[in-house]
Amino acid sequence: MIETPVSNPLLAGLQEDQLAQPCILVIFGGGGDLSKRKLIPAIYNQSLDGGLPASFALLGLALQEMDDQGYRQFAREGIESFSRQPLDEQHWPDFERLLHYEPGSFTDPQTYQRLKQRLEEIDQTFGIPGNRVFYLAIPPSLIETCVQNLNDAGLVYPVEDAQHFSRVIVEKPIGHDLQSARQVNDVLGRNLDESQIYRIDHYLGKETVQNILAMRFGNTIFEPLWNRKYIEHVQITVAEAEGVGTRAGYYDHAGALRDMVQNHILQLLTLIAMEPPWSMKADVIRDHRQNVLNCLRPITPEIVNQHVVRAQYGPGYHGGFDVPGYRREEGVGPDSTTETYVALKVFIDNWRWAGVPFYIRTGKRMTKRASEIAVHFRGVPPVLFNADPSHPIEQNVLALSIQPNEGLSLRISTKLPGPKVRIFPVKMDFRYGSTFGDQSPEAYERLMLDVMAGDATLFMRRDAVESSWMFIENILDAWNSSGVRWLPEYTAGTWGPVEAERMIENDDFRWRLL
């Protein structure tokens, strides 16, 4: 029987000294889509759940001309449309008084002087001791300008200041290749201490992703088996049902490898493959994740065609409608070679994982939206119940569902009822929604609360960003020098190209159907 959880799961995992501290959250790009759809609803849900610090305020900064009341209406519309929890009319007056707005240009130094004065006024009103969290929901090209102006205006406290803190959240992408990522990190490093920088990857805030460490190191039945002796291979799938939509301008310069593998998927890989940490401190966890990246076997140009498959979605049928192929999407060139699907076979060259393949796939316009990590254990010997080669027993599989239905399942073999000995695979299922009742907090809710608490565990450090780029840059270089003019296509609404099927079937495995 599972015990009833505490009323606020966001606070349950935080130690007393890790609770969110009083602060003002300043959102650069506060009038944008990310703020409306994700950030403001996340703060609202934290407010409903009692997770915000006692002294807190939010200020949006953007080019749009708006006053506080206009911004509160903007926030209300976002909450009504996108919040995990519905808008509570009784709670709304208390929440909207926390919201403020300042119009201004990110490139104008005068904007930062006005911002400084406004923040000091809000401090006085709400009893906030000068603490600041700056969320840069802006294009990467503006990061240098913003952090430099924040520093010049005296809005970034030195890290040695024990009385106040300044923390800066940076959205992905961090660069578009290794060189540009280093340039962004150099800019951040010149103006901020590494401990003040929170590079956000919302995948790491998802409940099932956070649960990977608890599942591995909180259960004796898993960790002793978590190695090459018992695990045959691992599959990581991040499938998207939608096409490029309005992101074609960005996506056609990025592609699936840059957009998903470099950040989200490699970070999932590190959590699945890392060694047991000696502490749950942020840098201990991040050191262990980094060690996995250090052990990734490079995919050199000589082997890229055997270890990597890329493709584009073609015309198809999805959601009851005919949909165009990628090269016919608005904003995409008819001769584009940008991949909307990529599959990789990856090896981690360390003692634990030597010889175990990790298969990664991600793509747009696939059958459905689903993200999963599936750990395939080695089969039982061909004796006893597995003696008939024409009817082999299915292997044990531990599957962690990241979205949309967060949870995990374990496939085991059992005997069918009756006098004959017939073995049948069954699943033992756990789902957050059915076990704990309420919806799991969304990723941004947890991650912003962590920044307010000063907990960087679920954020990417500089070395992780650059190591990830280093790994995929070998692949990008091989593609750029290949002279390929057309990519294979897969029909929209399917699980990907036949070339990806062949890659995994050459090793006598198959992709899981989700």
pLDDT digits (tens, 9 = 90+) for 65-117: 999 999 999 999 999 999 999 999 999 999 999 999 999 999 999 999 999 99
Q: How far apart are CA 338 and CA 326, in angstroms?
A: 9
Beta bridge partners of 100: 59
Q: How far apart are CA 397 and CA 404, in angstroms?
A: 19
The per-residue pLDDT for 423 is 64
| 9-173 is a CATH 3.40.190.10 domain | no
Q: What is the residue-averaged pLDDT of the chain?
A: 89
Is residue 337 pLDDT above 90, yes or no? yes
Q: Are the CB atoms for 286 and 201 separated by under 8 Å?
A: no
Catalytic residues: 264
CATH top-level class for 204-379+460-505? alpha beta
Q: Are the CB atoms for 371 and 379 separated by under 8 Å?
A: no
CA atoms within 13 A on the CB side of 258: 21
User: What DSSP line would sit under 430-486, residue for residue?
Assistant: EEHHHHH-SPPPPHHHHHHHHHHHT--TTSB-HHHHHHHHHHHHHHHHHHHTT----
Mean pLDDT of 425-433: 75
pLDDT digits (tens, 9 = 90+) for 184-224: 999 999 999 999 999 998 888 887 788 888 888 888 988 89
Is residue 413 pLDDT above 80, yes or no? no
**pLDDT classification of 16: cutoffs 50, 70, 90:** very low
Which of 10-14, 136-140, 209-213, 368-372: highest mean pLDDT? 368-372
Q: Are the CB atoms for 308 and 475 separated by under 8 Å?
A: yes
Residue 434's alpha-carbon distances to 207, 213, 405, in angstroms, are: 14, 21, 10
Mean pLDDT of 236-249: 89
* Burial zone of 144 (CB within 10 Å; 0-12 exposed, 13-18 middle, 19+ buried): middle
- Reduce the DSSP state of residue 54 to 3 states and report it: coil
Annotated ligand binding at 240? The verdict is: yes
Q: Are the CB atoms for 399 and 411 separated by under 8 Å?
A: yes
197-199 and 407-415 as β-strands: parallel, antiparallel, unpaired?
unpaired
**pLDDT classification of 404: cutoffs 50, 70, 90:** confident
Q: How far apart are CA 221 and CA 224, in angstroms?
A: 7
Q: 210 or 181: whose pLDDT is higher?
A: 181
Is residue 10 pLDDT above 50, yes or no? no
Record the tokens describing residue 45, joined without a space. Answer: 């849900």
**What predicted TM-score, i.e. pTM, was given to this entire model?**
0.89
19-28, 270-279, 320-329: the lowest-pLDDT one: 320-329
Q: Which residue has tokens 């790994």? A: 471
Q: How far apart are CA 380 and CA 432, in angstroms?
A: 31
Q: Considering only CA atoms, which of 132, 239, 123, 226 is closest in space to residue 513?
A: 239
Q: How far apart are CA 314 and CA 483, in angstroms?
A: 21
Q: Is the peptide bond before 140 cis (omega within 30 degrees of 0)?
A: no
The H or E element that residue 213 is part of is: helix 207-217
Annotated ligand binding at 442? The verdict is: no
The total of other beta-carbon atoms located within 10 Å of residue 121's CB is 10
The total of other beta-carbon atoms located within 10 Å of residue 417's CB is 8
**pLDDT classification of 383: cutoffs 50, 70, 90:** low
Which of 131-135, 158-162, 202-206, 379-383: highest mean pLDDT? 131-135
The per-residue pLDDT for 415 is 65
The per-residue pLDDT for 12 is 40
Q: How far apart are CA 365 and CA 490, in angstroms?
A: 9
Annotated ligand binding at 364? The verdict is: yes
- Reduce the DSSP state of residue 104 to 3 states and report it: coil
The per-residue pLDDT for 18 is 66
The per-residue pLDDT for 420 is 66
> What type of residue sits at position 505?
E
Is residue 5 pLDDT above 50, yes or no? no
List Cβ neighbours of 155 (8 Å cut-off, separation of 6 or more): 112, 115, 116, 119, 132, 134, 166
Q: Considering only CA atoms, which of 70, 65, 80, 71 is closest in space to residue 26?
A: 71
The per-residue pLDDT for 431 is 78
Q: How far apart are CA 491 and CA 316, in angstroms?
A: 5
Percent of the chain with pLDDT over 90: 67
Annotated ligand binding at 463? The verdict is: no
Q: Considering only CA atoms, which of 154, 147, 148 is closest in space to residue 170?
A: 147
Domain boundaries of the chain, sorted by first residue: 9-173, 204-379+460-505
Q: 139 or 363: whose pLDDT is higher?
A: 363
Is residue 123 pLDDT above 70, yes or no? yes
pLDDT digits (tens, 9 = 90+) for 244-296: 888 888 888 899 999 999 989 999 999 999 999 998 899 999 999 999 999 99
Q: 381 or 140: whose pLDDT is higher?
A: 140
308-314 and 231-239 as β-strands: parallel, antiparallel, unpaired?
unpaired
pLDDT digits (tens, 9 = 90+) for 338-373: 999 999 999 999 999 999 999 999 999 999 999 999
Q: Are the CB atoms for 257 and 472 separated by under 8 Å?
A: yes
Mean pLDDT of 461-466: 94
